[in-house]
Amino acid sequence: MIIHAKVPVFPLSIIMPTLDEEYVLPEALASLERQNFDLSLEVILSDGGSGDGTVATFERLTRSWPARSLAARVVVCPRPGRAAQMNAGARVARGDILLFLHADTSLPPDGAHAVMGALIDQEVVGGGFRHRFRESGTLLRAISGYATARSVVRRIHYGDQAMFVRRSVFDDLGGFPDIPLFEDLRLSRALRARGRVVTLSLPAITSARRLRQGGVVRTAGRFAWLKLRDALGADPARLKADYPDVR
């Protein structure tokens, strides 16, 4: 008689692209450990060649995770870049649902449950969370409010909203386009053309570090200018050169 060992099933794979994110990573990982979720989660760190302790921090903090409910692994991408790293993580993911989580963004405790609940509707192909900054401030609240309204009305989500997608749809679309900036916007538009895209009622909590370092008003205006240039067909590589890189 052949006895088949049970292999853990991970319906949801969370892919985290990182590059020198040692200091912000613990908060994101803690939010995953706090998930109120009956099923198992797979967490994949897709690293772009960090020179700090990002990978070591991930391995240390996930070592004590219960294997039956939380599985963690590291993928080292041969070249840095969010699109390439997220695609590399997706290739090894075992989940039917993929969620892409930035290292400076945290999920609410019921986040995984909300994602799976939304996808019970077979017409839903993907979506994202409402936007909220971890830091306080009137301007930051206004920016978050705009981001959420844009998502609800236009069904467009950006990476700091913890985008999620059915694996089958992601594969059909060829994953994220391999461009250095606005890969999240491109995928979001493609999803919108494939089916229903939803914005969950829960917020993903993200860092305002880019806005704060460059000045909230100045950096928000810079982002708006980059988006306009992108809409007018500017080269993504040139846009990336003008994008504030904060670690």
Task: For domain 12-207, give the CATH superfamily.
Answer: Spore Coat Polysaccharide Biosynthesis Protein SpsA; Chain A (3.90.550.10)
Q: For 142-191, write each residue's pLDDT tens digit.
A: 999 999 999 999 999 999 999 999 999 999 999 999 999 999 999 999 99
Sheet containing 196-206: give its strands across.
70-76, 41-47, 12-18, 97-100, 164-166, 124-133, 196-206, 105-106
Mean pLDDT along residues 116-128: 97
What is the rounded distance in angstroms from the CA atom of residue 204 to the CA atom of residue 182? 19
Structural domain boundaries of the chain?
12-207
**239: nearest Cα among 159, 156, 182, 158:** 182
Mean pLDDT along residues 12-37: 97
Question: Going by C-beta distance under 8 Å and a sequence separation of 6 or more, which residues neighbour residue 26?
Answer: 57, 61
pLDDT at 11 over 90: yes
Write down the residue that tokens 């504030």 correspond to: 244
Mean pLDDT along residues 59-84: 92
pLDDT at 1 over 60: no
Top pLDDT among 67 and 142 is at 142
Report pLDDT for 38: 87
What is the rounded distance in angstroms from the CA atom of residue 75 to the CA atom of residue 55? 10
